[in-house]
């Protein structure tokens, strides 16, 4: 589920080979799925798949997860918070796909003018809310699961590379937020599209990293078994 989500969440790379009419450096990523875009249906579908897949993975993890018997309560707390964050990310991304923009404000001056005047459908505001929740969920999930891996020796790939991806994600998120504020204030886009695409790519890479970590078998229960074995048979 995590790998499927990572793949679907990077479907926007198809704009390299498909003619979307949008500038990937300047345009909102969400504009690919706008109702007036020729390929909007495709990108709405891939966002829906990405959201539902990561939501399913997070719900399954929350249902199956248990900290080692002797682990501190904090261990379980960080992990549960992380999976809950990913569940929020998945649910918000799925909702995002059902609340598309009606037009592309960065490439359509009339759309931008209508948006400024409040003459666009309410889905524009709803889309902004679900997008914000998706970002909060992703950052929360990345942070909490990385902390859990670092503190308790779980998921070696996440323990090793998670902090770097998290740091880069925070930088990309700051870039995107600053660019959005500049655009809404009429000061240009500040390469808004590039910032958002980097932001989404890093989340997809982190999901793939988490999937690889889970596949490696270095789960909390496996770590606990290894530690018990070492205690019984010290070298």
pLDDT in tens, 161-183: 999 999 999 999 999 999 999 99
Q: Dihedral, CA atoms, 205, 22, 92, 199, nearest 10 degrees?
A: 30
Angle between helices 73-98 and 40-64 (to 10 degrees): 160
Per the CB < 8 A criterion, the answer to whether 94 and 33 are in contact is: no
Type and span of the H or E element at 189: none
pLDDT in tens, 8-35: 999 999 999 999 999 999 999 999 999 9
Residue 113 predicted with pLDDT over 90: yes
pLDDT in tens, 185-227: 989 899 999 999 999 999 999 999 999 999 886 555 555 554 5
Average pLDDT over residues 140-157: 92
Contacts of 2 (CB under 8 A, 6+ apart): 53, 54, 57, 207, 208, 210, 211, 214
């Amino acid at each position: 589920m995590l790998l499927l989500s990572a793949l679907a969440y990077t479907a926007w790379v198809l704009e390299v080979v498909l003619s979307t009419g949008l500038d990937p450096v300047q345009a909102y990523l969400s504009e690919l799925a706008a109702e007036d875009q020729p390929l909007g249906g495709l990108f709405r579908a891939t966002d829906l798949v990405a959201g539902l897949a990561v939501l399913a993975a997070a719900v399954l993890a929350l249902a199956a997860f248990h900290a080692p018997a002797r682990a501190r309560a904090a261990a379980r707390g960080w992990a549960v918070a992380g999976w809950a964050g990913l569940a929020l990310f998945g649910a918000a991304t799925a909702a995002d796909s059902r609340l598309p923009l009606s037009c592309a404000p960065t490439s359509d001056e009339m759309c931008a003018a209508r948006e400024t005047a409040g003459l666009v459908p309410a889905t524009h505001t709803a889309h902004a809310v679900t997008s914000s929740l998706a970002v909060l969920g992703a950052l929360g999930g990345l942070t909490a699961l990385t902390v859990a891996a670092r503190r308790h020796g779980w998921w070696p790939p996440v323990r090793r590379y998670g902090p770097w991806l998290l740091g880069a994600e925070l930088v990309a998120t700051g870039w995107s937020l600053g660019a959005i504020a500049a655009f809404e204030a009429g000061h240009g886009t500040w390469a808004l599209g590039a910032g958002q695409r980097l932001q989404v790519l890093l989340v997809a890479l982190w999901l793939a990293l988490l999937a690889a970590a889970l596949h490696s078998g270095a789960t909390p229960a496996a770590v606990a078994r290894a530690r018990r074995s070492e205690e019984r048979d010290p070298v």
